[in-house]
Amino acid sequence: MTFPRMGTVQVALAAVLEKLGHQVVVPPPLSADTAALGARYAPESACLPCKLVLGGFLQVAERETVDGAIMAGGVGPCRFGCYHRAHRSLMREQGFDWEWFVARPPRGRLGEVFAELSRLRAGASMRSVYSALRLGWRKLTVLDEIEEAVRELFPRENSPGSVRRVHRRAVAAVEHADELRALRRARAEALCALRAASTSARDEEPVQVALVGEIFTVLEPGANMQLEDFLGGLGARVHREIRISNWAREHIFCDFLRWSRKGHRIKRAAEPYLGHFVGGEGQATVGRAVHSSAVVDGIVHVMPFTCGPEIIARSVLRTVRRDLDIPILTLVFDEHTARAGVQTRLEAFVDMLRWRKAQSGKSRNRQESIHDRPRSSIFE
Please state, in angstroms and rounded to a whole number, the distance separating the CA atoms of residues 215 and 217. Answer: 6
Residues 229 and 352 in one domain: yes
Residues 108 and 238 in one domain: no
- Cβ atoms of 170 and 126 within 8 Å: the answer is no
Q: Does residue 55 lie in a domain region?
A: yes
Q: Does residue 190 lie in a domain region?
A: no
> pLDDT, tens digit, for every residue of 116-141?
777 888 778 888 888 999 999 999 99
Q: Nearest to residue 148, comparing CAs of 30, 68, 228, 85?
A: 228
What's the domain count of the chain? Answer: 2
Q: Is the pTM of this model over 0.75?
A: yes
> pLDDT, tens digit, for every residue of 10-36?
999 999 999 999 999 999 999 999 999
DSSP state of 26: P
Neighbours of 19 (CB within 10 A): 18
Q: Does residue 183 lie in a domain region?
A: no
Residues 219 and 335 in one domain: yes
Q: 14 — phi, psi (to 5°)?
A: -65, -40
Judged on CB neighbours under 10 Å (0-12, 13-18, 19+), 37 is buried
Q: Does residue 136 lie in a domain region?
A: no
CATH number at residue 343: 3.40.50.11900
Q: Nearest to residue 53, comparing CAs of 83, 24, 81, 76?
A: 83
> pLDDT, tens digit, for every residue of 188-228?
999 999 999 988 666 678 999 999 999 999 999 999 999 99
Q: Does residue 143 lie in a domain region?
A: no
Residues 108 and 218 in one domain: no
Place 72 in a pLDDT band, splitting at 50, 70 and 90: confident
Residues 208 and 315 in one domain: yes
- Cβ atoms of 11 and 183 within 8 Å: the answer is no
- Kindly give, in sequence order, each residue whose CB lies less than 8 Å from that of residue 140, ignoring residues fewer than 6 positions away: 9, 12, 244, 245, 248
Residues 219 and 356 in one domain: yes
Q: Does residue 285 lie in a domain region?
A: yes
Residues 13 and 120 in one domain: yes
Residues 221 and 116 in one domain: no
Domain span at 27:
9-124
CATH number at residue 47: 3.40.50
Alpha helices per DSSP H over the chain:
9-19, 32-41, 48-63, 83-93, 110-120, 126-153, 162-176, 180-196, 215-219, 221-224, 227-233, 244-248, 254-256, 262-270, 282-292, 308-324, 339-362
How far does the chain reach from its first CA to its final CA, in angstroms? 40
Q: Does residue 1 lie in a domain region?
A: no
pLDDT of residue 244: 85
Residues 92 and 216 in one domain: no
Residues 357 and 219 in one domain: yes
Residues 119 and 248 in one domain: no
pLDDT of residue 377: 46
Residues 119 and 221 in one domain: no
Q: Does residue 169 lie in a domain region?
A: no
